[in-house]
Amino acid sequence: MSTRDATMMDDVAEILLDTETISSRVRQLGADIARDYAAKDVVLVSILKGALPFLADLMRAAPIPLALDFLEVSSYGTSTETSGVVRVLKDLANPIEGRHVLIVEDIIDTGLTLNYVIEHLRAQRPASIKLCALLDKPARRIVPLQIDYRGFEIPDKFVIGYGLDYAERYRNLPFIGVLRPEVYRR
């Protein structure tokens, strides 16, 4: 293990979900999505940047024709708390009117960001919008959301890894871990 890897591991208080647990659940979600969207014109809309590893594994686990598009939104900046103000940094590249949209998100916390994203997409008149989230943190929910495909419900802890970051670090960890509070209190 390199010094950098050791430092990243020193910042992890606990491993919440290991690599195999995540892989197994993503395969199951992919099979469910393939079954439900088998004869539909579906586009997976990923929320950048955190959902990218999840999206990559999920689309490989769903052996059906599908398209991809991306939205980049910001409501956190370098904080551990959402500001409540959502900004679209990168919008969809292609029209979604009349198509079945499946939003792929890494984590749902307060629901404020996803609520904004859903309304933003709904204005583009898709045939349907559903939501797939790897992680659901219901203890922090402010806005109720219907999660159609849920990977894991997690406790109210600040998590990193498998795409999730703190200040653009830790995304490359192959598991979901809890960040030591002293790291983000520095």
The arrangement of strands across the sheet holding 12-17 comes to 12-17, 176-179, 159-160
Is 109 marked active-site? yes
Measured between alpha carbons, how far is residue 49 from residues 98, 104, 182 in Å?
A: 26, 11, 24
The Cα–Cα gap between 160 and 179 comes to: 6
The Cα–Cα gap between 85 and 123 comes to: 19
The Cα–Cα gap between 26 and 30 comes to: 6
How many helical (H) and strand (E) elements, i.e. helices and strands, does the chain have? Answer: 5, 9
Q: Of residues 106, 109, 136, 165, which has the active-site annotation? A: 109
Q: Catalytic residue numbers?
A: 109
